[in-house]
């Protein structure tokens, strides 16, 4: 006979010797799939029979275990597997053969395992005294925690799943649902049918935010790992496949054509956000199960890490989720995401369409209480942990409708001529909006925007402080490339805060810092640190500007660059240490040369990627900030970095 065995269950981590064998076979016959193997133990054989609906009598006669067929050999094998596990102090994958009744051991190695099994085995072995705490932490791969945090496909259902296209694994998890092509249809389907859909878009924009929230998953034809769809989906903990370039999406006909298939609106598809695969039809999913072992591992990670972990969160719900995963603050609150809720977008558009400052201030006055309420929710959710609020960053064209139907509706709602809407949209259009009128450039052009946001932040903080909850506010100015830009913004923030303090006859401490996302900001960090009390590296834009790669278009040539070895990894997924990383190191060194206690963090998508977190530890950063569902991964990676350094 021949067989393959595991000292513990590789799928669940259960401390159960298990495996398969074949009579009158040798070598690789067990794993070749030519014959159906039998189970090694009686317990394993009974579990298999139950799953296959085989009676106990039939099992014993047709599919007996090795334990029953060769009891002496089984006893020896069981003793050896126990000895090997005690010696190597890890779960063992064992290959053996039996010749003329004699057991021969062929090889053993540390066995591969699922994320759930990885955590359980490490914690069990810690309790058994086989390994110590540090080894238990290092034994768990941070990236594999993803498997524990998101829904997954049912293994049985996956056997018949048909892949129709493959894109980028933009946000992990599993999702299945009917196809819709417009955000409002995703909202409508949830509201009217209580059914979450798969939102399929050529690419998403901030206008799609509500629909993305109501969808169960997102699929796009364009975009990379840091495209709008990918970043927002990860923040929501929602499954997303992006950059599936073979998709031919027809919005008018509401169909998808891909590799010989035609999928109409309402047809079901399924997404695997961990592999990028898209399946035809409905594939059953199952919820993630976070056991007590997971919590224990996270406590050990906190004990041994130096680097703090915060979350990128824009809503109280996201903040609460991040806090539950152990986030020690919010490292990035993108205030523009708040502008798309309910009637807020109307006030934003009213501000954009205003002819003068007075008109803009009228519209901003409507937004003020809404923003203040949002910030109060975030401060309460974080229970005294620091909250970094980024002032308005995207270009204004992202907030206006670009299709005639929506433009005419807006003209009607605002009681203005349709031509005025189209003229304003054309005026806002830019050849390269990501390098255009956005970030601090907006605040310096329209100071009243910075004033409104500052007032909302400070008033919210003071309201929450009154309830007895401590508040630590950090106001972050985006896209600074010149220290004068930051000085101008700081003056507006300080003057506005002083007005609020005077009105309230009270004060609170706050910090002003900036995102380092323009290469010039990194190399002139010594000047910027004269003004900024903290740096937060926005590595999405810093990577884009340093490498000259559009993060939304890189998918067109990235596979070829990876195949030819021009790039080792996608630089928007794994930090480019030799380019972007050197700018970060230089900025930290120069910044702290000016301001010794300068707090430095990272809030780009790299903040949740294990090797990038390790780099941040060695670069001397104080914290990383990432999507809520990446917080546990970052926490474990931070502990790994500290233990490796030690």
* Catalytic residue chosen out of the listed positions 239, 603, 616, 626: 603
pLDDT digits (tens, 9 = 90+) for 194-242: 899 999 999 888 788 889 989 999 999 987 776 788 878 887 878 999 8
State residue 54's pLDDT score: 83
Q: Which helix (H) or strand (E) holds 474?
A: strand 472-477
pTM reported for the whole predicted model:
0.82
pLDDT digits (tens, 9 = 90+) for 232-264: 888 787 899 988 889 999 999 999 999 999 999
Q: What's the average model confidence in pLDDT over 151-158? A: 82
* H helical segments located in 434-538: 440-445, 447-466, 483-504, 519-523, 525-528
State residue 312's pLDDT score: 95
- Comparing CA positions, the residue from 298, 408, 389, 431 lying closest to residue 625 is 389
What whole-number distance in Å separates Cα of residue 470 and Cα of residue 509?
A: 11
- Comparing CA positions, the residue from 21, 25, 11 lying closest to residue 113 is 11
Q: Which of 41-50, 467-476, 609-618 has the lowest mean pLDDT?
A: 41-50
The H helix count followed by the E strand count for the chain is 28, 26
pLDDT digits (tens, 9 = 90+) for 46-66: 988 886 778 999 999 999 999
pLDDT digits (tens, 9 = 90+) for 282-318: 999 887 666 689 999 999 999 999 999 999 998 888 8
Quick one: three-class SS letters along 542-565?
HHHHHHCCCCCCHHHCHHHHHHCC
Q: Which two tokens stand for residue 367?
A: 């937004």
Share of the chain above pLDDT 70, in %: 97
Bin 620: left if φ > 0, else alpha if -120 < ψ < 50, else beta.
left
Whether residue 545 has pLDDT greater than 80: yes
What whole-number distance in Å separates Cα of residue 56 and Cα of residue 83?
A: 31
* Cα four-point dihedral sign 524, 525, 531, 536: positive
* Catalytic residue chosen out of the listed positions 108, 150, 228, 397: 228
- Pairing between strand 163-166 and 168-171? unpaired
Active site residue 228: yes
Q: What is the dihedral of CA 539, 541, 544, 545, to 10 degrees?
A: -110
Share of the chain above pLDDT 90, in %: 70
* Cα four-point dihedral sign 204, 205, 206, 210: negative
pLDDT digits (tens, 9 = 90+) for 419-476: 988 998 899 999 988 899 999 999 999 999 999 999 999 999 999 999 999 999 999 9
Q: How far is CA 499 from CA 369, 387, 502, in A?
A: 17, 22, 5
* Cα four-point dihedral sign 499, 503, 509, 514: negative
């Amino acid at each position: 006979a021949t067989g393959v065995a595991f000292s513990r269950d590789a799928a669940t981590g259960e401390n159960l010797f298990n495996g398969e064998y074949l009579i009158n076979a040798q070598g690789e016959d067990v794993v070749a799939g030519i014959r159906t193997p039998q189970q090694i133990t009686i317990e394993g054989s009974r579990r298999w029979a139950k799953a296959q609906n085989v009676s106990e009598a039939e099992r014993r006669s047709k599919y007996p275990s090795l334990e029953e067929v060769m009891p002496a050999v089984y006893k020896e094998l069981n003793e050896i597997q126990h000895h090997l596990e005690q010696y190597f102090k890890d779960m063992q994958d064992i290959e053996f053969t039996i010749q003329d009744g004699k057991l021969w051991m062929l090889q053993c190695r540390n066995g591969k395992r699922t994320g759930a099994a990885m955590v359980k085995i490490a914690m069990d072995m810690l309790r058994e005294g086989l390994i110590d705490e540090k080894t238990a932490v290092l034994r768990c791969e941070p990236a594999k925690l993803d498997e524990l945090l998101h829904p997954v496909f049912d293994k049985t259902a996956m056997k018949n799943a048909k892949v129709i296209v493959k894109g980028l694994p933009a946000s992990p998890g599993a999702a299945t649902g009917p196809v819709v092509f417009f955000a409002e249809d995703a909202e409508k389907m949830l509201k009217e049918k209580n059914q979450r859909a798969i939102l399929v878009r050529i690419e998403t924009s901030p206008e799609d935010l509500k629909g993305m929230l109501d969808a169960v998953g997102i699929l796009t034809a364009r975009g990379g790992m840091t495209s709008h769809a990918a970043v927002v989906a990860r923040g929501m903990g929602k499954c997303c496949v992006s950059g599936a370039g073979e998709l031919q999406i027809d919005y008018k006909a509401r169909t998808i054509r891909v590799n010989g298939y035609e999928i109409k609106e309402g047809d079901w598809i399924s997404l695997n956000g961990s592999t990028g695969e898209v399946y035809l039809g409905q594939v059953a999913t199952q919820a993630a199960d976070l056991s007590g072992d997971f919590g224990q591992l996270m406590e050990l990670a906190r004990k041994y890490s130096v680097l703090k972990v915060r979350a990128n969160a824009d809503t109280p719900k996201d903040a609460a989720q991040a806090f539950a995963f152990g986030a020690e603050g919010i490292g990035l609150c993108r205030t523009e995401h708040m502008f798309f809720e309910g009637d807020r977008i109307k006030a934003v558009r009213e501000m954009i369409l205003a002819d003068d400052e007075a008109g803009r201030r009228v519209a901003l006055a409507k937004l003020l209480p809404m923003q203040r309420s949002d910030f109060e929710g975030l401060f309460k959710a974080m229970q005294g942990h620091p909250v970094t609020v980024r002032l308005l960053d995207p270009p204004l064209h992202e907030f206006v409708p670009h299709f005639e139907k929506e433009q005419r509706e807006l003209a009607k709602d605002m009681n203005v001529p349709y031509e005025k809407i189209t003229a304003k949209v054309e005026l806002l259009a830019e050849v390269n909006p990501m390098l255009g009128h956005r970030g601090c450039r907006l605040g310096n052009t329209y100071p009243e925007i910075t004033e409104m946001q500052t007032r909302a932040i400070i008033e919210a903080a003071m309201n929450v402080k009154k309830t007895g909850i401590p508040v630590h506010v950090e106001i972050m100015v985006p896209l600074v490339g010149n220290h004068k830009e930051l000085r101008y913004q700081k003056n507006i923030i300080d003057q506005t805060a002083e007005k609020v303090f005077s009105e309230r006859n009270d004060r609170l401490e706050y910090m002003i810092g900036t995102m380092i996302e323009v290469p010039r900001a990194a190399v002139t960090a010594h000047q910027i640190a004269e003004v900024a009390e903290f740096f937060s590296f926005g590595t999405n834009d810093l990577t884009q500007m340093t490498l000259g790669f559009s993060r939304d278009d890189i998918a067109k040539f990235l596979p070829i660059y990876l195949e030819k070895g021009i790039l080792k990894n996608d630089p928007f997924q794994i930090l480019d240490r030799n380019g972007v990383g050197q700018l970060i190191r230089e900025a930290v060194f120069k910044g702290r040369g000016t301001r010794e206690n300068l707090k430095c963090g990272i809030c780009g998508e790299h903040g949740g990627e294990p090797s990038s977190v390790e780099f941040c530890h060695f670069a001397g950063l104080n914290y990383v900030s990432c999507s809520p569902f990446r917080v546990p991964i970052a926490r474990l990676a931070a502990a790994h970095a500290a233990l490796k350094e030690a």
